[in-house]
Amino acid sequence: MKSALISSALFFAMAGPAFAAQTAISTSTVSTSTDNGNNLTVTNSSIIDNSTTTTNSVIAFNMVVSQAARNCLPNAQAQVQIESSGTAEEMVISATGLPPNTDFDFFVIQIPNAPFGLSWYQGDLQSDSNGNALQHFRGRFSVETFIIAPGVAPAPQIFNNPPFPDANQNPETFGPDGKTLGPVQTYHLGLWFNSPADAQKNGCANTVTPFNGEHNAGIQVLNTSNFPDNAGPLLQLQP
């Protein structure tokens, strides 16, 4: 699992000095379990924060090349580490094997492959001249990550160009009975080319997808399809 883990020093550097300063890990109470099939490591440790002891979890896992990019970017991959402070999570993504000097868009998604389900735009990754990219996000990335729509409401229409103009209202989310309100858990991750032209330049299909801020992205490059559709890696972080 050495390749799947980002060092603690790197994690805290990316998470920021304020987070590192208020959090001390008691290494005497650390326990780790590893699922080699999914390249997943879960670490439970005792956290001391302003004299209050709580239980914290850290997970580290791999993202794999998508079906769409398997032939054109066979060496693309990423390692992800997520640590919870209890109130929020810090996620660090380290990707390699990408085209150099290229923009990508990162999403939390319902399932790893098409049709992807409900999807939440997190931000961008920019590869360097060697095709490596590093990014940090703070949010809710755990067993409690979900999307809910208690009812249908009007939605702003800002990006109206085809082929994916903004919807003018949201769909309602229902529980198993199809009648009562139901949240949708979203435990998978995906990375897309920001531009179909960039994808084509690197030998990939120039298919247009809605997975960037203006809804004119390229194909998916990485995802977490190394985990089951209904049990993505974020499910394993249970602070």
**So where are the chain's domains?**
2-148+183-236
In angstroms, what CA-CA distances link 32 with 27, 42, 172? 11, 6, 40
In angstroms, what CA-CA distances link 36 with 33, 60, 61, 190? 10, 11, 10, 21
φ, ψ at 92 (rounded to 5°):
-120, 130
In angstroms, what CA-CA distances link 84 with 59, 88, 105? 9, 6, 23
φ, ψ at 13 (rounded to 5°):
-65, -40
Residues 91, 124: Cα–Cα separation, whole Å: 13
Q: Please list the residues that pair with 58 across neighbouring strands.
A: 43, 83
* Tokens (6 digits) for 110: 């319902």
Determine contact, residues 220/111, Cβ cutoff 8 Å. no
* Residue (of 214, 225, 234, 232) closest to 103 by Cα position: 214
Please state, rounded to an integer, the average pLDDT across all residues of the chain.
Answer: 85
* Tokens (6 digits) for 169: 């209202």
pLDDT tens digit sequence for 137-172: 999 999 999 999 999 999 999 999 999 999 999 999
What is the CATH code of the structural domain delimited by 2-148+183-236?
2.60.40
Sign of CA dihedral 3, 137, 89, 38: negative
pLDDT tens digit sequence for 38-58: 678 776 644 333 333 334 489
Using 50, 70 and 90 to split pLDDT, how confident is the model at 33? low
pLDDT at 36: 52
Sign of CA dihedral 91, 92, 97, 101: positive
Residue 14 has pLDDT above 50, yes or no: no
Determine contact, residues 106/125, Cβ cutoff 8 Å. yes
Residues 140, 121: Cα–Cα separation, whole Å: 13
Residue 18 has pLDDT above 50, yes or no: no
- Which has the higher per-residue pLDDT, 10 or 67? 67
pLDDT tens digit sequence for 86-143: 899 999 999 999 999 999 999 999 999 999 999 999 999 999 999 999 999 999 999 9
pTM as predicted: 0.82
